[in-house]
Amino acid sequence: MTTEILSDLLVRVRQFVDEEVIPLEKLLISRPWAEVEPLLNQKREVVKDAGLWGLALPVEYGGQGLTLAEFGRVSEVLGRTPGGHYAFGCQAPDMGNMELLMHAGTADQREQFLLPLTRGEIRSCFAMTEPEHAGSNPTWMSATAVRDGDEFVINGHKWFTTAADGASFAILMAVTKPEASSRHQRASQIIVPLDAPGFHLERNISVMGEAHGGWNSHAEVWFENVRVPAEYLIGEDGNGFALAQLRLGPGRIHHCMRWIGICERAFDIMCSRAARREVAPGRQLGAQGMVQAWIAESRAAINASRLMVLDTARKIDAEGVYAARDEISLIKFFVADVLMQVLDRALQTLGGLGMSDDTPIAFWYRHERASRIYDGPDEVHKMSVARRILQRYQ
């Protein structure tokens, strides 16, 4: 896509976000999903009519065929409000599941599960993390899928299964080859329709004092002797870990650019408040040296983050996920840390207003603290990339 066409696309997306989605964010933050979903679904239809649906998808799936780096720019704009990605049909975890099925799904799997997902007719979830095991170790899990003729029999306990509430299917990580010598070849990924007997959604987990439903939920779920056809296996048996890495690589670009969008919106709110708020008659908050330092440091960090992420996205586009392993780890912990710093500075600048839900700052402060945990804790990424760097010196 030429620079001119991409720039025009970004202008159109930003205008829609500002005029149609941001006005709904207070409802999205404060009201049950059942009240907000119909409103966002109406916006989805307008997005489709405008030819802006599924921008991250290839043309053959109804998208614009953007590269990962190009969609990264779009993801930043959508990230400026909590409902942005959902309104445009490229929200997590559905986007990651679509990318996975496009990469490794069979023709039947694409027809039955992928196409309705790309059209926004259904939602999905991804079930990997277990409460009994450290989520930072995706090779260690107790959920099993045992082959029984033409079926898998699944038993397992998962939590933080985002968006399971109302989803039509899950992509499940479960052990299918416990005898494999390599711990990286024991698990597989399997499609599980959530209306299958034996699936149970126990609860939507309360996060930072809030328990949201629907797409905003993080569920604890059980699989008890759930039977699914063997052809619901994605890719090869025992290849679940490798598929997870392929799924998470582009996903970290999406997340990081979304975080940068949050940073930009928080930065705008912070600067607007600093320029207008008087701390004494005739003296604005922005005249304080400390606030000026926060503004300058935030601007530098956001700019640096964007360059790092887009450079990583271009490397993935050109050379593949594995060639960009170091860069993926670096942006994951670096941008997550910048996000929390910018949100903290914005909240501090706003004072009591920042603690309220009159702006989205407090919502993001609560919900994006998890950015330093999901998709691999910061500490794991730091250790992994440092080990790989040191190996080159030995």
* CA distances for 188 relative to 28, 124, 181, 236, 253, angstroms: 35, 18, 15, 8, 24
* pLDDT the model gives residue 104: 96
Cβ 308 vs Cβ 331: under 8 Å: yes
CB atoms within 10 A of CB 18: 13
Please give the mean pLDDT across all residues of the chain.
95
What average pLDDT does this structure show over 86-110?
A: 96
pLDDT for the residue 37: 95
- Whole-angstrom distance, CA of residue 204 vs CA of residue 164: 9
- Which residues in 194-276 belong to E strands, given as ranges? 199-204, 218-229, 233-234
Q: What is the Cα–Cα distance from 344 to 369, expressed in whole angstroms?
A: 11
pLDDT for position 211: 75
pLDDT digits (tens, 9 = 90+) for 316-349: 999 998 899 999 999 999 999 999 999 999 999 9
* Stretch 105-132: mean pLDDT: 97
pLDDT at site 69: 95
Percent above pLDDT 70 for the chain = 100
Write the pLDDT tens digit of every residue in 237-275: 999 999 998 887 888 999 999 999 999 999 999 999 999
Mean pLDDT across 182-199: 97
CA–CA gap between residue 310 and residue 84 (Å, rounded): 20
Query: Distance (Å, rounded) from C-alpha 31 to C-alpha 164?
Result: 18
Asked whether the beta carbons of 74 and 55 are under 8 A apart, the reply is: yes
Rounded to two decimals, the pTM is 0.94
Residues 6+ apart with CB under 8 A from 121: none
Enumerate domains of the chain plus CATH numbers.
3-105 (1.10.540.10), 124-234 (2.40.110.10), 241-391 (1.20.140.10)
Gap between the Cα atoms of 215 and 369, Å rounded: 18
Summarize pLDDT for 134-156 with one digit per residue, the tens. 887 888 999 999 999 999 999 99
Residue 245: its pLDDT value, please? 85
